[in-house]
Amino acid sequence: MVTEALTVLIWNEYIHETRDENVIRIYPDGMHHTIGAALTRLLPGVNVRTATLPEPEHGLTEEALAGTDVLLWWGHAAHDAVEDTVVERVKQHVLGGMGLIVLHSGHWSKVFTSLLGTTATLQWRSAGDRELVWTIAPSHPIAEGVPNPIVIAEQEMYGEPFDIPVPEEIVFISSFSGGEVFRSGVTFTRGRGRIFYFSPGDQDYPVYHHPDVQRVIANAARWASPRSRERRVPSLRGPVAPVV
Amino acid sequence: MVTEALTVLIWNEYIHETRDENVIRIYPDGMHHTIGAALTRLLPGVNVRTATLPEPEHGLTEEALAGTDVLLWWGHAAHDAVEDTVVERVKQHVLGGMGLIVLHSGHWSKVFTSLLGTTATLQWRSAGDRELVWTIAPSHPIAEGVPNPIVIAEQEMYGEPFDIPVPEEIVFISSFSGGEVFRSGVTFTRGRGRIFYFSPGDQDYPVYHHPDVQRVIANAARWASPRSRERRVPSLRGPVAPVV
Amino acid sequence: MVTEALTVLIWNEYIHETRDENVIRIYPDGMHHTIGAALTRLLPGVNVRTATLPEPEHGLTEEALAGTDVLLWWGHAAHDAVEDTVVERVKQHVLGGMGLIVLHSGHWSKVFTSLLGTTATLQWRSAGDRELVWTIAPSHPIAEGVPNPIVIAEQEMYGEPFDIPVPEEIVFISSFSGGEVFRSGVTFTRGRGRIFYFSPGDQDYPVYHHPDVQRVIANAARWASPRSRERRVPSLRGPVAPVV
Amino acid sequence: MVTEALTVLIWNEYIHETRDENVIRIYPDGMHHTIGAALTRLLPGVNVRTATLPEPEHGLTEEALAGTDVLLWWGHAAHDAVEDTVVERVKQHVLGGMGLIVLHSGHWSKVFTSLLGTTATLQWRSAGDRELVWTIAPSHPIAEGVPNPIVIAEQEMYGEPFDIPVPEEIVFISSFSGGEVFRSGVTFTRGRGRIFYFSPGDQDYPVYHHPDVQRVIANAARWASPRSRERRVPSLRGPVAPVV
């Protein structure tokens, strides 16, 4: 059992918020701080940390990850700029038990696609569609306390086909004004780590200020949290003796 | 291996087509005959039979079922009028290997809910919504040869939450003009029988005349077909000897 | 959130422990009290209740179920003696959110098979096989704190094929001295209710005195517990207005 | 529809059969030829090709893969010697629709682990255990025509925990003399490609001469075959227009 408080590390490439006027207006301190403030409010006792691309090792040192229960990942403009050694390090921590929440355009990050084994491609349109996020699994803890549907007034459209492995659980399915649908909240397990992908959240719309979106992310952080911070990546064992 | 031709039995309660003017106009011979003609055209060599509620034992005698590879089920106005002994007989044939395709309002039939164990309830609205049927599993044989999405100009809306067990496969997810989503094509296995539920198809709209809808039903009939017509309902076996 | 303590109701047909000498020796007060004492010890603050077949309405009155978070079910010799109205009542509570843990020979109970839709048959042999219970889902909360494998020195063999729907999660798979395998710990959702089936536990062997078996049942009780005691059986809703 | 014959390419690293006396005795022409002969006999009209590690590009050129419906993979001693560019090429073909059957120690190949995203580690013992391969999904086409269980007199033990993502389907579960269990036949989809992993088949035992093992591999080759040889790797599409 983790006896310390839940520690969430929010990773953001932090590019759009430093150069795009519209994004700066919505997220003057960066999306990571908006999300972090929400988690602090919604998860009493949570320990929120942040890390960004420009930091040494992107802020994802062995020490930082070892102290993390759940990692959030937001990337878009610079997936390729993330060092392969850091990607591999994050992957090992997930396999060893660290929770991972991948947000929106993080679907195309090296971290996510290397854990899935697919392209994670989809179809998209950034034209202010209304997104309705429907709960498909009403007793899932990630859906606790949110209306059905969550209404997001304006958002980038992410549509099927979404090239992911069949998820273990589909928590949410979204529709868009243009008629598209999307598996917008899905879970996976890799090794000992729990993974949740949640698609709402483009940089051009104030989606992370939406209280229901914040609630989902907070629920997911709790859900993805490992029962222990000890990391045990599965490994080959043999020759083993028969059970006697 | 079934060496004879695939035999499909289309069961229709056949009530709306005998009393509702609008439905009579769309399906003058009954939906079962519209679907049957499509299957005959799309599945060379198929043997199509039909049965309806008013027939003795609803046309679902032991002999009729024993000669059936795949049963299609359409019911709406008279779920309660289906005899429990017939429901139990159908269920035993499914458990023993007969394929079952449940269409549209058949979601609330005794046959379907007793095989699922849930209420199979949903939300609905009959107001001429446009339905878009998106393929989620692009390499699934049931989705072969249909556009993505299938566009149904007017249709009753069936929306989530849909109270079914987690499906083994989700082949299609639909959106509706009103913003709802629905798992519109899903598969289950019960005993040795394969089950496909496909929601498009209200009596008030000409959905079963739609070529893509017909293609899906034809694909599903092939997919649900057992490899042998021998029925083997799983049964308790014991005491058995250890394997030596 | 359930603010009161978790309330577990342990239902036992309570027949073998009143007439079979060997079983009386192992469980002088009945299996329900052995399990209840374990839960009391392992789940601080838990509220344990029991009910048996001979009680009026088998002790499963509307009031008893309404006050229950998780129901445990052990039956074997008298599945048919359980009243259909009680079975239906239990089923409605599960669909509405009550957790259900089905133990061992309860696989063939009306409650379980009507929630699954299959026969739940299997092969068996009561000849003192050693059972090894392997954890397949190492990060699942039901597997927390148990060795891999759990070793049960003597137990009835339950073997595949086990006629159940594809489980949502397989937590445990067992092997037996005779070479058989069995999906011995599996989960399902029906409506809002979480269901766990756990096969170890024949009346002729002291399995419910085994500390690891007790730990699994305690973990499962926590896992199956609903977030609220309000029961909401899914129901048909319509005609609904479009989302605007 | 593939109108040409099914083309299966059997890849074998082909190392043990060139240097280990015991293996040479069992497979004088290499495992790939033993398996190939079986497929030729069991799948009328099949087109069997082979490729091995020492060939240029390991025999897995773009042209060779483009003409392949289903690739079989056997590797053990030289996983690291497989070029990353070839691994990536194989992966793209799977994502685009080519079937993949991974055999035994291929669980640890770069091809398999990069498609799964996990370590695919397990526990093992090479001590002549008897393996029993139980069919869990009796109506699955891969299990057609094999006894339940398949008895393999001597085989390397592969035991749980097996670090793979939750499979889409579990077709077989094995037990071993030493008491271990293993998910020995499991399916996955990645992109448009179907993947089957089948664990029986160590080089030190004559497992690929076993008629039931041959039958499973033949069934799997049919099952994994794409409906078209056109390769379509899923890709990002946008901005797309709304559906009108």
The answer for residues whose C-beta is within 8 angstroms of residue D112's C-beta and 6 or more apart is D73, D102, D106, D120, D197
Per residue in C167-198, pLDDT (tens digit) is 999 999 999 999 999 999 999 999 999 999 99
Peptide bond into B149 cis (omega under 30): yes
Question: What is residue D176's predicted lDDT score, i.e. its pLDDT?
Answer: 98
Which chains reach chain B with 3 or more Cβ–Cβ distances below 8 angstroms?
Answer: A, C, D
Residue C134 within any structural domain of the chain:
no
Question: What is residue B4's predicted lDDT score, i.e. its pLDDT?
Answer: 65
C75–chain A Cβ distance below 8 A for any pair: no
The answer for residues whose C-beta is within 8 angstroms of residue D106's C-beta and 6 or more apart is D73, D74, D75, D76, D112, D197
Comparing CA positions, the residue from A40, A41, A45, A63 lying closest to residue A3 is: A45
Pairwise CA distance, residues D231 & D233, whole Å? 6
In Å, how far is A104's CA from the nearest CA of chain B?
19
Residue C127 within any structural domain of the chain:
no
Which chains reach chain D with 3 or more Cβ–Cβ distances below 8 angstroms?
Answer: A, B, C
Inter-chain CB proximity B181 and A161 less than 8 Å: no
Residue A134 within any structural domain of the chain:
no
Pairwise CA distance, residues A89 & A72, whole Å? 15
Judged by phi (left if over 0) then psi (alpha if -120 to 50, else beta), residue A121 lies in beta
pLDDT of residue A1 exceeding 80, the answer is no
pLDDT of residue C215 exceeding 90, the answer is yes
Question: What is residue C228's predicted lDDT score, i.e. its pLDDT?
Answer: 87
B227: nearest CB among D144, D226, D243? D144
Q: What is the mean pLDDT of residues D74-82?
A: 98
Residue B33 within any structural domain of the chain:
yes
Q: Over the range B174-183, which residues count as b (16 or more CB within 10 Å of their CB) and which as e?
A: bbbbbbbbbb
Q: What is the mean pLDDT of residues D109-117?
A: 98
Inter-chain CB proximity D226 and B193 less than 8 Å: no
Q: Are strands D99-103 and D70-74 parallel, antiparallel or unpaired?
A: parallel
Pairwise CA distance, residues A136 & B183, whole Å? 9
Q: What is the mean pLDDT of residues A68-88?
A: 98
Comparing CA positions, the residue from B235, B14, A17, A205 lying closest to residue C118 is: B235
pLDDT of residue A146 exceeding 90, the answer is yes
Pairwise CA distance, residues A239 & B142, whole Å? 45
- Cα atoms in the 13 Å half-sphere on the side-chain side of C166: 22
Question: What is residue D2's predicted lDDT score, i.e. its pLDDT?
Answer: 47
Pairwise CA distance, residues C206 & A218, whole Å? 44
In Å, how far is A189's CA from the nearest CA of chain B?
17
Q: At what angle do helices D211-224 and D31-42 cross, to 10 degrees?
A: 70
Per residue in A83-114, pLDDT (tens digit) is 999 999 999 999 999 999 999 999 999 999 99
Comparing CA positions, the residue from A111, A91, A114, A95 lying closest to residue A103 is: A111
Pair A182, A173: CB distance under 8 Å: yes
pLDDT of residue A221 exceeding 70, the answer is yes
- The domain that holds A25 is classified in CATH as 3.40.50.880
Residue A171 within any structural domain of the chain:
no
The token pair at A183 is 């598996």
Give the residue carrying structure tokens 């009346």.
C203
Give the residue carrying structure tokens 């990850």.
A65
Residue C108 — very low, low, confident or very high, per pLDDT cuts 50/70/90? very high
Per residue in C12-39, pLDDT (tens digit) is 999 999 999 999 999 999 999 999 999 9
Give the residue carrying structure tokens 């009290």.
C33
pLDDT of residue D90 exceeding 50, the answer is yes
Residue A161 within any structural domain of the chain:
no
Mean pLDDT computed over every residue of chain C: 96
Mean pLDDT computed over every residue of chain B: 96
Pairwise CA distance, residues D116 & C180, whole Å? 29
pTM for the complete prediction?
A: 0.97
Select the more confidently predicted residue: D48 or D228. Answer: D48
Of all residues in chain C, the one with the smallest CA distance to A225 is C139
Per residue in B140-198, pLDDT (tens digit) is 999 999 999 999 999 999 999 999 999 999 999 999 999 999 999 999 999 999 999 99
Q: What is the mean pLDDT of residues B62-68?
A: 98
C241–chain B Cβ distance below 8 A for any pair: yes
Question: What is residue D82's predicted lDDT score, i.e. its pLDDT?
Answer: 98
**Given strand B70-74, what is the order of strands in its sheet?**
B47-52, B7-12, B70-74, B99-103, B193-198, B181-190, B169-176, B123-135, B150-159
C181: nearest CB among D137, D162, D175? D175
- Cβ-based contacts of C187 with chain D (< 8 Å): none
ipTM exceeding 0.90? yes
Question: What is residue A152's predicted lDDT score, i.e. its pLDDT?
Answer: 98
In Å, how far is A179's CA from the nearest CA of chain B?
6
Residue B107 within any structural domain of the chain:
yes
Instruction: Give the sign of the dihedral formed by CA A96, CA A97, CA A98, CA A99.
Output: positive
In Å, how far is D150's CA from the nearest CA of chain B?
11
Domain coverage including residue C206: 7-120+184-224
Residue D231 within any structural domain of the chain:
no
Question: What is residue D41's predicted lDDT score, i.e. its pLDDT?
Answer: 98
Pairwise CA distance, residues C59 & C67, whole Å? 12
Number of domains in chain A: 1
Comparing CA positions, the residue from D95, D106, D104 lying closest to residue D216 is: D104
Q: What is the mean pLDDT of residues C109-116?
A: 98
Pairwise CA distance, residues C227 & A141, whole Å? 8
Question: What is residue A4's predicted lDDT score, i.e. its pLDDT?
Answer: 64
Chain B residues 112-141 within an 8 A CB cutoff of chain C: 114-119, 121-127, 129
Pair B156, B129: CB distance under 8 Å: yes
pLDDT over 90, % of chain B? 96
pLDDT of residue D1 exceeding 60, the answer is no
Question: What is residue D4's predicted lDDT score, i.e. its pLDDT?
Answer: 65
Pair D16, D77: CB distance under 8 Å: yes
pLDDT of residue B100 exceeding 50, the answer is yes
Inter-chain CB proximity D139 and B243 less than 8 Å: no
Pair A100, A70: CB distance under 8 Å: yes
Residue C244 — very low, low, confident or very high, per pLDDT cuts 50/70/90? confident
